[in-house]
Amino acid sequence: MDQRARVGVVVLRVATASVFLIHGVARTLNGTVGGFGEFLGSWGFPAGAAIAWAITIVEIVGGAALAAGYAVGWLAAWFIVQIAAGIVMVHASSGWFVVGAGRNGVEYSVLIVACLFASAMLDAASDRR
């Protein structure tokens, strides 16, 4: 892989990781982890608050690790499952568009899943060389 391709891989991975890192930090600083836990509880998840904290911590620590290039495949898989759950639980009922022709849809989440998948595949391909 040439230098330009390596830079592209890093930019993709860091930009995608930053979404999770910032999301987790914002949830913590805004004091909304408890509300997230209540939301999870309303979906029937036991210990919603504990799950909300676990997800938030993985977003922060895992986001930083993903940005740094550690455990890329595992973290991408975790975040893909997390985003897929968000699609099912929140966004699918609103259609495709996040803004414009709709509101709160799946388009952004689908893009994040694609970026995570691409990051994992590119990381795996670079490990083989």
Kindly report, residue by residue over 79-122, the tens digit of the pLDDT. Answer: 999 999 999 999 999 999 999 898 999 999 999 999 999 999 99
Structure token digits, residue 106: 């799946």
Instruction: Give which of 6, 49, 42 is closest to 27, Cα–Cα.
Output: 49
The reported pLDDT for the residue numbered 127 is: 63
Tell me how far CA of residue 108 lies from CA of 26, 37, 69, 87, 92, in angstroms.
18, 23, 23, 10, 11
Checking if the pLDDT of 128 tops 70, the result is no
Residues of the chain above pLDDT 90, percent: 93
Average pLDDT of the chain, as a whole number: 95
Average pLDDT score over residue span 17-27: 98
- To which residue do tokens 């999301």 refer? 23
**What pLDDT digit, counting tens, does each position of 48-62 carry?**
999 999 999 999 999
Residue entry with tokens 């860091």: 14
Give residue for tokens 């040439």: 2
Confidence band (pLDDT; 50, 70, 90) for 38? very high
Percent of the chain at pLDDT > 70 equals 98
- Span 21-25, average pLDDT: 98
